Amino acid sequence: MSDASDDILAATYRALCEHGYADLTMQRIADRSDRSKAALHYHYDTKEDLLQAFLDDLLAQFESQLDCEATDPGKRLDQFVEAVFDPAREGGQRFPVALLEIKAQAPYHQAYRDRLAAVDERMREIVSDAVRDGVEADQFASRDPDVVARFVVTLISGAHAREVGLGEEPAATRSLVEEYLDETLDRDGGSD
Amino acid sequence: MSDASDDILAATYRALCEHGYADLTMQRIADRSDRSKAALHYHYDTKEDLLQAFLDDLLAQFESQLDCEATDPGKRLDQFVEAVFDPAREGGQRFPVALLEIKAQAPYHQAYRDRLAAVDERMREIVSDAVRDGVEADQFASRDPDVVARFVVTLISGAHAREVGLGEEPAATRSLVEEYLDETLDRDGGSD
């Protein structure tokens, strides 16, 4: 990704945290960057185009938090839970709020829905691959990897909605996810 | 509740389905009722006041779908799942969208957050009471009722966010909830 894109997407993140999705404008994003609104439009035609690139970048950032070298299935699950529930990000609770607004807009923007679906599919893939490998290696009890993955991503979706709608700490769901994985896969807590 | 309130809250539901939360105005609610905007303001000072009453009514409607006469814990759980995943309501997928918008606004409206928390607390109470009774009657395996309840409501929050954000059928989560309850409580499917 070019420096310009990096800078614009970082400004988008800051503007989303400050104004939310509904009040996000190209001008407000420009105000949070070193670039003019015209310069933004040179890279992205519309706010929707920019948001698509932003959501793609979010997925890339999530991937970068996962250590592809890890081979132990238990370690991979632990790392996934860590990346989901303790993302290295500034902006506190305001970003989850903006992201929930974007989810609420998804029925009207197929491009958002596609990106959100890509993130969800990637999360399900990481969990189901790790479960499959762990079951094959006799480290985990025999379970359907896709069912386990679906449980985990649904709890994660719930954690997000509850953080915003109820002000509930995501840690409350994190411990549910860990307990579920330990019990379902018959493993003892984290593997490190 | 008075006829006027009934009529206004029904108009609010229709206006929310049509315009979403962000574009909801007292005028638009009046347009969907037989009353003037001034008449609406006679009952509710602001859009926020009206929305509070609307969320209170939503909880009351949910309660009314549950049969308080049922004593069998398994039947009560089945009935709860039915009320959550198959609510008798018009408007299709548009109401869940509006409700997710309201959840995204909750950090800025304590009154919304209080109402959403009341619905959630009531749901947790129904599940944990049924689990507690079923464990005491030796119908269910011994589990912590509060943990089971938390698991269930988090899956339900997830189902809502996924229905809107990903276009996923709530039935996908419904079967997860049923599977979770059956396995965790060691019971065989529904009890009827």
DSSP letter string over A11-59? Answer: HHHHHHHHHTTTT--HHHHHHTSSS-HHHHHHH-SSHHHHHHHHHHHHH
- pLDDT on residue A187: 86
Segment among A32-41, A141-150, B183-192 with least mean pLDDT: B183-192
Q: Is the Cβ pair B154, A151 closer than 8 Å?
A: no
Q: pLDDT class for A65, splitting at 50, 70, 90?
A: confident
Contacts of A153 (CB under 8 A, 6+ apart): A120, A123, A124, A127, B158
pLDDT < 70 positions in chain B = 1-2, 67-69, 87-92, 188-192
> Which chain B residue has the Cα nearest residue A99?
B104
Chain B contact present for A1, CB below 8 A: no
Q: pLDDT class for A191, splitting at 50, 70, 90?
A: very low
| Better-predicted residue by pLDDT, A76 or B62 | A76
Query: What is the least distance, in Å, from the CA of B179 to any CA of chain A?
Result: 10
Where b means 16+ CB within 10 Å and e means fewer, A78-114 reads bbbbebbbeeeeeeeebbbbbbbbbbbbbbeeeebbe
Q: Which residues of B fall within a CB distance of 8 Å from A161?
A: 100, 103, 157-158, 160-161
Contacts of A23 (CB under 8 A, 6+ apart): none
Chain A contact present for B158, CB below 8 A: yes
A111-145: per-residue pLDDT in tens?
Answer: 999 999 999 999 999 999 999 999 999 999 999 99
- pLDDT on residue B88: 63
Residue A42 has pLDDT above 80, yes or no: yes
> Is B124 in contact with A162 (CB distance < 8 Å)?
no
CA distance A56 to A37: 21
Task: Please provide the average confidence, as pLDDT, over all residues in chain A.
Answer: 90
- pLDDT on residue B22: 85
Find how far residue B47's CA is from the centre of its chain.
20
Of B106, B147, B176, the CB nearest to A151: B176
Q: Is the Cβ pair A106, B173 closer than 8 Å?
A: no
Query: In B6-128, where do the E strands start and end?
Result: none
Q: pLDDT class for A192, splitting at 50, 70, 90?
A: very low
Q: Which residues of B fall within a CB distance of 8 Å from A97?
A: 104, 107
Chain B contact present for A173, CB below 8 A: yes
- pLDDT on residue A93: 74
- DSSP codes of every residue in A108-171: G-HHHHHHHHHHHHHHHHHHHHHHHHHHHTTSS----HHHHHHHHHHHHHHHHHHHHHH---HH
Residue A61 has pLDDT above 90, yes or no: no
Mean pLDDT, to the nearest integer, of A61-87? 85
Query: What is the least distance, in Å, from the CA of A87 to any CA of chain B?
Result: 19
Mean pLDDT, to the nearest integer, of A170-190? 89
Q: Give this complex's ipTM.
A: 0.91
Q: Which residues of A fall within a CB distance of 8 Å from B101?
A: 101, 104
Q: pLDDT class for A178, splitting at 50, 70, 90?
A: very high
Cβ neighbours around B67 below 10 Å, total: 10
Chain B contact present for A75, CB below 8 A: no
- pLDDT on residue B60: 87
- pLDDT on residue A92: 67
- pLDDT on residue A4: 81
Q: Is the Cβ pair B117, A166 closer than 8 Å?
A: yes
Maximal CA-CA distance, chain A: 58
Read off the tokens for B72.
Answer: 């069998």
> Is B60 in contact with B33 (CB distance < 8 Å)?
no
Say if pTM beats, i.e. exceeds, 0.90: yes
Helix or strand (DSSP H, E) at B145: helix B145-166
Find how far residue B23's CA is from the centre of its chain.
22
